[in-house]
Homo-oligomer: A and B are copies of this chain.
Amino acid sequence: MKAVFIGSGNVATHLAQALQAKGVIISQVYSRTQKNAATLAEKLNTSYTTDISEVYDKADIYFYALKDSSFRETLRKFDLPDAIHVHTAGSIPMSDFDGMATRYGVFYPLQTFSKEKEVDFSKVPVCIEAINTKVQQTLLDLAHLLGSKTYLISSEQRKKLHLAAVFACNFTNYMYDVSSQILENMGVSFEILQPLIMETAEKVQSIVPYKAQTGPAVRFDKKTISCHLGMLKNRKDLKKIYKILSKDIYKRHKKKY
């Protein structure tokens, strides 16, 4: 199987490398940014182009791993009806391919990718959606080749999943960031909180988050809450978050406030 990657960001980088390691031929990388295209092509020992008219047209599958905002305008420039076209995005509905391609689908790896860190795809859930069962089977086969667990997820569901991931990943990371600011302010290294962060994540691998909830809010420990709010008097932003989250945690567990 021959694949072309349209895009050269984190998702493209990790996914292309993982597929190549399993025997998929990455024929070419396309990116508008020469530097990124060259970097990824070098990693894959393949060619690249920044000229859309020179994109290799004999691949079996084209992966669009682009910013959401560039997806449709880029897709529009392709006319390769025999190939499979898939995007890798959480929030783009599959219907964005309508009229632009005939064999298409979505291959959404539900994970956070960073340049600095290797990805083990056997631990990445892949959400799949396809225009027909034949394309679906090809995408399932590719995901299984990577050792990934697969989920058939509709566009509507994927949108909600992406929303859930914003809470579980992006907002969670902001909570880490807030804690690191508090530590920085007191001159203590962030490493002191790292084991707690790992354990908090590990807990919900076996217990539902509802049952894993601890802290002053869930036991309505007014004294600690008001002490903490007092400590945040010069950080109105954090005070607001602390108040709202404490109230919501209490409500969730006591059904009243």
Interface, chain A (partner B; CB < 8 A): 68-69, 91, 110-112, 114, 116-117, 123-125, 127, 151, 153, 157, 159-180, 182-183, 185-186, 188, 190, 192-210, 212-218, 221, 223-224, 227-228, 231-232, 237-238, 240-242, 244-245, 248-249, 251-252
Which residues from B are CB-within-8-Å of A216? 166, 170
Q: State which of B123, B125, B185, B223 has its C-beta within 8 Å of the C-beta of A69.
A: B223
A-B residue pairs in contact (CB < 8 Å), sample of 24? A68-B223, A69-B223, A110-B193, A110-B195, A112-B214, A116-B207, A127-B192, A153-B188, A159-B227, A160-B183, A160-B185, A160-B231, A161-B183, A161-B188, A162-B224, A162-B228, A163-B182, A163-B228, A168-B175, A170-B214, A171-B242, A172-B172, A174-B245, A237-B251
Contact B110 A168, beta carbon cutoff 8 Å: no
Contact A245 B196, beta carbon cutoff 8 Å: no
Contact A160 B179, beta carbon cutoff 8 Å: no
Contact B111 A195, beta carbon cutoff 8 Å: yes
Knowing A213-B174, A237-B248, the reply to whether A179 touches B165 (Cβ < 8 A) is yes
Contact B171 A245, beta carbon cutoff 8 Å: yes
Contact B179 A175, beta carbon cutoff 8 Å: no
Contact A200 B168, beta carbon cutoff 8 Å: yes
- Closest-CB distance, A215 to chain B (whole angstroms): 3
Contact B182 A167, beta carbon cutoff 8 Å: yes
Starting from the known contacts A168-B175, A194-B205, A237-B248, 4 additional A-B residue pairs (CB-CB under 8 Å) come to A112-B199, A173-B204, A237-B251, A241-B245
- What is the CA–CA distance of A244 and B239 in the complex, to the nearest angstrom? 12
Contact A175 B182, beta carbon cutoff 8 Å: no
Q: State which of B180, B244, B252 has its C-beta within 8 Å of the C-beta of A240.
A: B244
Contact B157 A188, beta carbon cutoff 8 Å: yes
Which residues from B are CB-within-8-Å of A213? 170, 173-174, 177
Knowing A176-B204, A207-B116, A214-B173, the reply to whether A196 touches B231 (Cβ < 8 A) is no
Which residues from B are CB-within-8-Å of A162? 224, 228
Which residues from B are CB-within-8-Å of A197? 168-169, 172, 201, 204-205
- What is the CA–CA distance of A224 and B111 in the complex, to the nearest angstrom? 17
Q: State which of B180, B201, B242, B245 has its C-beta within 8 Å of the C-beta of A209.
A: B180
